[in-house]
């Protein structure tokens, strides 16, 4: 059962006065809730809330989606230049702890002797616990990657620094160090994978994420491979986790991709489609289009361009109806110049490209992790393996519905595997997964085709030519992509001592403070 305190994050109840504490239990009851929810319903609700908020117009399209230059805003460009709304980062924090509380509730219901038998009617107990642990790891990974040190909860580790999600006992939790958080996430994913019965389902009904214990286990191992690759050389034991995760079984094909598929209606549509119905703020970035067209970087024209973007001039009505045309003419794609001032944006918006109907559709699938990423991780683990690199590119092309002939043509032109080539292709494959692309850029510095503060881009002009502009960051001292988000002001106010300790520990609550694995 969710508690009222979670509305303002796990810290807000410090404002509750002692004078009403004896009445708190009476008012902290939702008469429409149950103490024994359907665990598969709670799981699906948490998964949807997680994707609704990390892939929507706010936490995604106004922060990380433009920062990694998959998109650019058509009107209000201040966020593209890093001046994001602090309430957006605060929302990322608060909803993440809400969904984490839901995953923990699933664990608690399957552990508590008074509810465990009833919960087993919904699926094997161990598999339910494992699924919740894996999704807790995914949620806390996003928080740690975005902020640094964070309040953290672990199912299998009673470290006294892990004080999150204990709203009955600890309202002002410590911030656990990044070292501890990442180390425990890897441990949790390993233990979760080991407790899964692959021959069983996760939930007996209503499982729209995994469907089988085998798929859950491959996801857990693949996610561990992602985390361990991120922190290798920084967190002790990461290299061993890489070897063990691979040996334990990672994703084998696109059938193992894990994502939340929305409904083909206007009741539960995908978040960006829902936004597009009423607004037209976002276009595919010119930076990304130029990479896909082969005008920058080391690759030829990428057929995914025609799957990612709608030809210029296509009406919004056709996109919403799912009937917009596809074009294979590169001249139909300009992209929106990235990092321009709001005053310049209207002159560029008319010739920019919206995302395609493959993305702006109600039943779009928001990906948590996919097979192509795993292949790029394996390429890195295997010394920039050519075979894994080609497999990763091929899997991404297949996922986006590129024809076999076009796949063969594009793959035949790929330059040899190298750090730059593998990681740039990984960036392309991570399209629409901006938090992961942001983390990878900070870790590796790739792709090296992004437009950075102080650099010059090009604008279209009415005469048909072009002119230049300089991308200027609105955050003083930030001359690359942002390294992290600010801690929420609510946390600063309601958990002051622990906030101050965390800020000092990471090197300051600033956007250019690097996380422990940020080597770029």
CATH number at residue 276: 1.25.40.390
Owner of token pair 């975005």? 146
Q: How far apart are CA 193 and CA 218, in angstroms?
A: 8
Local structure of residue 16 (DSSP, 8 states): S
> To 5 degrees, how large is the angle CA 198–CA 204–CA 208?
85
Supply the pLDDT for residue 409. Answer: 98
Q: How far apart are CA 471 and CA 458, in angstroms?
A: 10
pLDDT of residue 11 exceeding 60: no
Average pLDDT score over residue span 87-96: 96
Q: Maximum CA pair distance of the chain?
A: 74
Supply the pLDDT for residue 520. Answer: 85
Supply the pLDDT for residue 36. Answer: 77
Average pLDDT score over residue span 438-465: 93
- Count structural domains, the chain: 1
* CA distance to 155, 276, 281, per residue, from 190 (Å): 13, 40, 41
Q: pTM for the full model?
A: 0.93
Does residue 4 sit within a domain?
Answer: no
The encoded tokens of residue 260 equal 């939340």
Instruction: Give phi and psi for 46, each to the nearest 5.
Output: -65, -45
Supply the pLDDT for residue 331. Answer: 96
Q: How far apart are CA 251 and CA 256, in angstroms?
A: 6
pLDDT of residue 24 exceeding 70: no
Binning pLDDT at 50, 70 and 90, where does residue 205 land?
A: very high
Binning pLDDT at 50, 70 and 90, where does residue 107 land?
A: very high
Q: Domain range holding 328?
A: 35-366+418-520
Does residue 18 sit within a domain?
Answer: no
Judge whether 373 and 429 are in contact, CB under 8 Å: yes
Question: How much is the mean pLDDT over the chain?
Answer: 93
Does residue 153 sit within a domain?
Answer: yes
pLDDT of residue 462 exceeding 80: no
Does residue 214 sit within a domain?
Answer: yes
First to last CA, the chain: 42
**Lowest-confidence pick of 5-9, 152-156, 392-396:** 5-9
Q: How far apart are CA 480 and CA 494, in angstroms?
A: 31
Does residue 108 sit within a domain?
Answer: yes
Q: Residue 148 contacts by C-beta under 8 Å, 6 or more apart in sequence?
A: 178, 484, 502, 506, 513, 515
Does residue 8 sit within a domain?
Answer: no
Does residue 223 sit within a domain?
Answer: yes
Owner of token pair 């008319």? 350
Instruction: Give phi and psi for 315, each to the nearest 5.
Output: -75, 150
> To 5 degrees, how large is the angle CA 311–CA 345–CA 304?
30
Supply the pLDDT for residue 169. Answer: 83
Supply the pLDDT for residue 7. Answer: 31
Does residue 405 sit within a domain?
Answer: no
Supply the pLDDT for residue 34. Answer: 62
Supply the pLDDT for residue 32. Answer: 52
């Amino acid at each position: 059962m969710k508690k009222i305190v979670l509305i303002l994050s796990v810290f807000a109840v410090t404002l509750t006065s002692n004078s009403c504490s004896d009445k708190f239990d009476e008012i902290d009851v939702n008469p429409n809730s149950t103490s024994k929810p359907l665990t598969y319903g709670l799981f699906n609700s948490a998964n949807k809330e997680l994707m609704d908020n990390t892939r929507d117009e706010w936490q995604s399209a106004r922060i990380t989606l433009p920062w990694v230059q998959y998109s650019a805003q058509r009107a209000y460009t201040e966020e593209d230049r890093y001046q994001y709304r602090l309430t957006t980062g605060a929302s990322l924090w608060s909803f993440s702890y809400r969904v984490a509380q839901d995953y923990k509730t699933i664990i608690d219901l399957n552990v508590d002797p008074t509810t465990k038998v009833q919960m087993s009617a919904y699926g094997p107990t161990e598999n339910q616990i494992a699924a919740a642990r894996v999704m807790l790891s995914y949620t806390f990974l996003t928080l740690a990657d975005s902020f640094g040190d964070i309040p953290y909860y672990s199912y299998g580790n009673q470290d006294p620094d892990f004080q999150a999600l204990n709203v009955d006992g600890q309202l002002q939790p410590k911030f656990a160090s990044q070292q501890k958080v990442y180390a425990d996430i890897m441990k949790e994913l390993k233990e979760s994978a080991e407790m899964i019965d692959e021959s069983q389902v996760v939930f007996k009904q209503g499982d729209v994420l995994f469907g089988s214990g085998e798929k859950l286990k491959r996801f857990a191992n693949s996610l561990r491979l992602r985390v361990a690759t991120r922190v290798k050389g920084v967190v002790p034991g990461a290299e061993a986790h890489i070897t063990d995760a691979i040996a334990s079984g990672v994703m084998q094909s696109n059938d193992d991709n894990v994502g939340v598929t929305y409904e083909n209606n206007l009741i539960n549509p995908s978040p960006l489609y829902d936004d597009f119905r009423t607004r037209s703020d976002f276009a595919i970035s010119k930076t990304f289009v130029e990479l896909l067209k082969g005008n920058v970087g080391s690759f030829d024209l990428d057929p995914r361009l025609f799957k990612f973007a709608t030809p210029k001039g296509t009406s919004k009505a056709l996109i919403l109806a799912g009937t917009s045309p596809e074009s294979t003419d590169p001249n139909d794609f300009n992209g929106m110049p990235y990092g321009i001032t709001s005053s310049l944006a209207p002159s560029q918006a008319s010739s920019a490209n919206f995302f395609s109907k493959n993305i702006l559709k109600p039943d779009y699938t928001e990906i948590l992790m996919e097979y192509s990423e795993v292949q790029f991780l394996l390429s890195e683990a295997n010394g920039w393996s050519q075979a894994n690199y080609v497999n990763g590119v091929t899997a991404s092309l297949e996922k986006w519905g590129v024809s076999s002939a076009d796949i063969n043509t594009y793959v035949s032109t790929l330059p040899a595997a190298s750090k730059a080539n593998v990681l740039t292709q990984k960036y392309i494959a991570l399209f629409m997964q901006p938090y992961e692309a942001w983390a990878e850029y900070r870790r590796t510095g790739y792709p090296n085709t992004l437009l950075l503060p102080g650099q010059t881009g090009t604008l279209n002009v009415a005469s048909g030519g072009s002119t230049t502009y300089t991308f200027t960051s609105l955050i003083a001292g930030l001359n690359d992509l942002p390294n992290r988000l600010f801690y929420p002001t609510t946390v600063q106010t309601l958990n002051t001592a622990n906030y101050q300790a965390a800020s000092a520990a990471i090197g300051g609550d600033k956007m250019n403070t690097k996380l422990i694995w940020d080597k770029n």
